[in-house]
Amino acid sequence: MKRLILVILVWSIPTVAEAQWQYPPTKTVDAADTYFGKTYADPYRWLENLKAKDVEAWFRAQATLTDGVLARIPGCERLANEWLELDKRKQAAYGDIVFESGRVFYKKFLGSENVGKLYYRQGETGAEKLLFDPRTYTKEGNSVIESFVPSWDGRHVVIGLSAGGAEYSELRVLDVDTATLLPDSIYPSYGATGWLPDNASFFYDAGKVTDIRSMDIELNRKSRIHKLGDKVSGDVDLFSNESCPQLNITPEEMPGAYIDESCPEYVFGDVETVQAESRLFYAPSSEIRTGKVHWQPVFNLSDNIVRGYVVKGPYIYAVTHTGAPHYKVVRTRLDRPDWEHAETVFPEVADTVEYITSSKDYLFVVYSNGIDGRITKYEFATGKISAVPLPASGTVGISCPDWKSDLCHVVVETWTTPGVRYDYDPGSDRFKVSTFYSEASYPGFEDLVVEEVQAPSHDGVMVPLSIIHRKDIKLDGSNCCILEGYGAYGDSYTPYFDVMTSVALRGVVLAYAHVRGGSEKGEAWYKAGFKTTKPNTWKDFIACGQYLVDKGYTSPGKLAGTGTSAGGILISRAITERPDLFRAAVCNVGCANTMRMEFSPNGPVNVPEFGTVEDPVECRALYEMDGVAHVKKGVAYPAVLGVTGWNDPRVAPWEPGKFVAALQNATASDRPVLLKVNYDNGHFTEEKSVTFHNFAAQTTFLLWQTGHKDFQPTE
């Protein structure tokens, strides 16, 4: 370690092609796996043991090197502070608004504060009261509220608290009238899933192990019931593979039980993985007291229910892709579900159903064409269907925080205009700006334009591409450009407002590739970037990059790419397939080693999305996705910054770590390959200072490498 520090002190950041980079040494080992007659070498397997001292030392050495390099690039701190100041322009932001027995609970994010706090009001316009500040919970002051669930009578709230981006929460119960915590404490949990009608008990997620880095942490999860004041060790396991063997819940599936407050006669049991399709069971809620719950199926995987369901009266309404690539909304009776003959309520149309939700008297369907959204409503009593006359165009969302009324909140936003929250009355179709909205203006954003275009991919398919830039840029290839993509789980890259878009005011082109694997064009678009068709995801991304070059927005020496989480597949394979197209790339908490992903704590639950090495076809597909496996010695790769959160429960730090190790030992270029390790973060965190500094470092790296004048070292 002493030698490493010396290197950092005397080393200058290279600004010429002849520069040499000295990385912490990375050993290789003779590790390999043989699947279906083919052997796959894995020389960096040793980095997977994150508890080993030599592995911890390697990550520390990489982090020290990277932090030292990034600290010497001007503009990083200025960029982070710029975003923090822009964020302060919105006096307050509100989230997770819930009404219970006349009380309104919500998280409020003040522009001047680092994390959200829990507040409540007596009625929507009542006096605001601070209920809980997570910063006061520990002496370190690094806790955040991951979740909260109020009781039906509004007297208690279960709060999920985590720290350092770990996501797994400690559950505590807050007495609302006294604003004090009860002694009850449960850890680790993904959170509470609802209260029982007695207002003294709640459902919550629990596991069989407490080590959140254990390979078993995500397996055999349970939905248990805790009664206030009881010992946690005696909590009843209501819904799991152990308590309900007849339901064939696999170890990888996540069970969750709850009682819908609008339908208290039933208890529901939801079984999910990352797969879009899920399973749902129900039983009389009165059976909970007997200890013998007779679960009956509502829908199975083969019923193709996706994107939400709503129970209303004798019916259950749901979104399905059966015979509808862009989805449709159907209904069947809850007491005798028959999905094969379900009644179509909203037939398939050209744009895609994003989700459904409901208020007391209405069902709402949210649609999107990938860029602009719309909402259609259905009146339960009459069956009348009509369009909701939105006050603006853009990405739209609707939530109904009080099931006893028709009060709804509608939010509309675009790439360059912040979201406005409206109170919406579906009976009169009237909108007014909500009391849960704080207006803010962002100087300079009016000088940005957005272009929505389509780029031809390798197979002739046209891929939507959003391009954001200053009005006065020249299309001469001289602009630095950051291209971002994702393409997994059927998640669409719909427009959203972010203060970090301010980097475009520096003449930077920002682009978002709507690649296959998302669902901008429906279920078929999703399945065209899924398992064996996954190469379309990164080939679409490459095509979008080529489009930006061909049209003069940028050039290969100015083009950077970035992918986050499952987008790590996209970016790691894009630069290993077309290293000549990109000058720099960021693999942010990215899946870059898919051949080994299912052997990480979060890996088994992701098998439905990416595949398993136990299947010969899927094994080959996983190899094609694997960025680490496609790094070749002697290739001139782009500059690469791998980013990981040490507390990441979703993508193990060794995935981006192994990718960086392979590139450092293989690249023939003089461009840096660095690993940023965020020891105060996980997959993400709501802490503004951590988030903005993290992304400022990533942006700084990309703009340094693509030659932006504001981010060049002076020496």
Query: Residue 463 sits in a domain of what CATH number?
Result: 3.40.50.1820
In this structure, are 409 and 342 located in the same domain? Answer: no
Q: What is the dihedral of CA 172, 178, 179, 183, to 10 degrees?
A: -20
In a domain, 394, yes or no: yes
Domain hosting 375: range is: 357-437
DSSP states along 104-133: EEEEEEETTSSS-EEEEEESTTS-EEEEE-
Same domain assignment for residues 532 and 581: no
Q: Among 350, 383, 399, where does a domain finish? A: 350
CA 676/CA 402 separation, integer angstroms: 44
Q: Is residue 121 assigned to a domain? A: no
Please identify, among 387, 407, 437, the residue that sits at the C-terminal boundary of a domain.
437
Whether residues 399 and 303 share a domain: the answer is no
Q: Is residue 526 assigned to a domain?
A: yes
With contact defined as beta carbons under 8 Å apart, do 391 and 424 qualify?
Answer: no
d(CA 1, CA 395): 50
**Are both 607 and 583 inside the same structural domain?**
yes
* Residue ranges of the chain with per-residue pLDDT less than 70: 1-19, 715
pLDDT digits (tens, 9 = 90+) for 630-643: 999 999 999 999 99
Count of the separate structural domains present in the chain: 4
The verdict on 567 and 539 lying in the same domain is no
Per-residue pLDDT tens over the stretch 108-150: 999 989 999 999 999 988 999 999 999 999 888 889 999 999 9
Alpha-carbon radius of gyration of the chain: 26
What does DSSP say about strands 279-284 and 343-346: parallel, antiparallel, or unpaired? Answer: unpaired
Q: Measured over all CA atoms, what is the biggest interatomic distance in the chain, rounded to whole angstroms?
A: 77
Cis bond before residue 649 (omega within 30° of 0) = no
Strand pairing class (169-175; 180-189): antiparallel
Extract the tokens encoding 238: 């209501």
How many Å apart are CA 255 and CA 278, to the nearest integer? 10
Q: How many CB atoms lie within 10 A of CB 113?
A: 14
Q: Could you identify the residue written with the tokens 């970035």?
A: 562
Residue 671 lies in a domain: yes
Please say whether the beta carbons of 403 and 261 come within 8 A.
yes
pLDDT, residue 532, reads 98
Residues 527 and 545 in one domain: yes
Q: What angle do CA 37, 38, 39 make, to 5 degrees?
A: 125
The per-residue DSSP string of 575-628 comes to HHH-TTT-SEEEEES----HHHHTTSTTSGGGHHHH--TTSHHHHHHHHHH-TG
* Domain shared by 675 and 613, yes or no: yes
- What lies within 8 Å, CB to CB, of 336 at 6+ separation is none
pLDDT at 514: 98
Give yes or no: residues 510 and 569 share one domain: no
- Spatial contact of 239 and 269, defined as CB atoms under 8 Å apart: yes
Asked if the structure places residue 636 within a domain, the reply is yes
464 shares a domain with 381: no
Same domain, 419 and 506: no
Listed residue (700, 706, 710, 707) closest to 69, CA to CA: 700
Terminal Cα-to-Cα distance of the chain (whole angstroms): 26
Residue 687 contacts residue 144 (beta carbons within 8 Å)? yes
CATH number at residue 310: 2.40.10
583 and 539 in a common domain = no
DSSP for 161-198, written as a single string: EEETT---EEEEEEETTTTEEEEEEEEEES-EEEE-TT
In a domain, 242, yes or no: no
The model carries a pTM of 0.95
- Check whether residue 548 and residue 590 sit in a common domain: no
Given 386, 415, 437, which residue is the final one in a domain?
Answer: 437
Taking residue 20's Cβ as centre, other Cβ atoms within 10 Å add up to: 7
Q: Which helix (H) or strand (E) holds 385?
A: strand 385-387
Residue 229 lies inside a defined structural domain of this protein: no
pLDDT score, position 714:
75
Residues 6+ apart with CB under 8 A from 450: 414, 415, 416, 466, 467, 468, 495
Query: What is the 3-state composition of the chain as percent helix, strand, coil, each rounded to the nearest 5?
Result: 25, 35, 45
Backbone angles phi, psi at 369, to 5 degrees: -95, 15
**Does residue 80 form part of some domain?**
no
Q: What is the pLDDT of residue 15?
A: 44
